[in-house]
Amino acid sequence: MQITITARHFELTEPIKEHAETSIMGLKKYFEQIIIADMVLRVEKNRNIAELHIKVKKLSLICKSREKDMYTAIDSTVKKMERQIKRYIGKLQRHHSNKNISIKNIPQKESKQQYSILHKKIVPIELNEDQAIKELQNSKKDYLLFKNNENKKLNILKKVNNNYEFTEIQ
């Protein structure tokens, strides 16, 4: 990443320059593909203005903030840029279904409900309806997926109360 820091209408001190550079480098943890980061710091009357331009491949992001202190102006500009980068990452992830985007994982807030998804592979066995009922009676499961010997179609046999229900899959 190429970082440029420019000061207008005041003398750029080394501590301000280092603070700006470390703040900008902190953006790398959200998005590695930042090519150019250009920060312009200026003083107008009693306001300190920090403006940050970031170029990423086909996109340019711009943030600006006005504060009474230059350090807080830099910090608030970088926070605004973080939000813009997070929003851009979200758009990329929503628009690309394969999710093969080189983005670092952003820690997300935990939701109240957490879901776990368990993937199972079921291989249907070939049975007739009577054999399927006996097989289901001997197992502890509530359903059985099998391939019907008579019509060679997939069927699901479910226990419903004390009865059995056959479902044929087309």
Give the sign of the dihedral formed by CA 61, CA 66, CA 70, CA 72.
Answer: negative
Domain 2-95 sits in CATH 3.30.160.100: yes
> What integer pLDDT is reported at residue 97 of this predicted model?
54
Each residue's pLDDT tens digit, 16-26: 999 999 999 99
Cα(111)–Cα(115) distance, rounded to whole angstroms? 10
pLDDT score at 14: 94
Domain parsing of the chain, residue ranges: 2-95, 125-169
Please state the pTM of the whole predicted model. 0.55
Cβ 84 vs Cβ 52: under 8 Å? no
For residue range 36-56, what is the model confidence (pLDDT) as tens digits? 999 999 999 889 999 999 998
State the Cα–Cα distance between residues 39 and 7, nearest whole angstrom. Answer: 9
Residues 157 and 144: their CA atoms lie apart, in Å, by 5
Residue 168 has pLDDT above 90, yes or no: no
Q: What percentage of the chain reaches a pLDDT higher than 90?
A: 38
Instruction: From 149, 118, 121, select the one nearest 135 (Cα to Cα).
Output: 149
Residues 6+ apart with CB under 8 A from 78: 23, 24, 26, 27, 52, 63
78-90 tens-digit pLDDT: 999 999 988 888 8
3-state helix, strand, coil in the chain (%, to 5): 30, 35, 35
The single-letter code of the amino acid at 46 is N
Tell me yes or no: is domain 125-169 CATH 3.30.505: yes
Rounded to whole angstroms, the Cα distance separating 84 from 77 reads 11
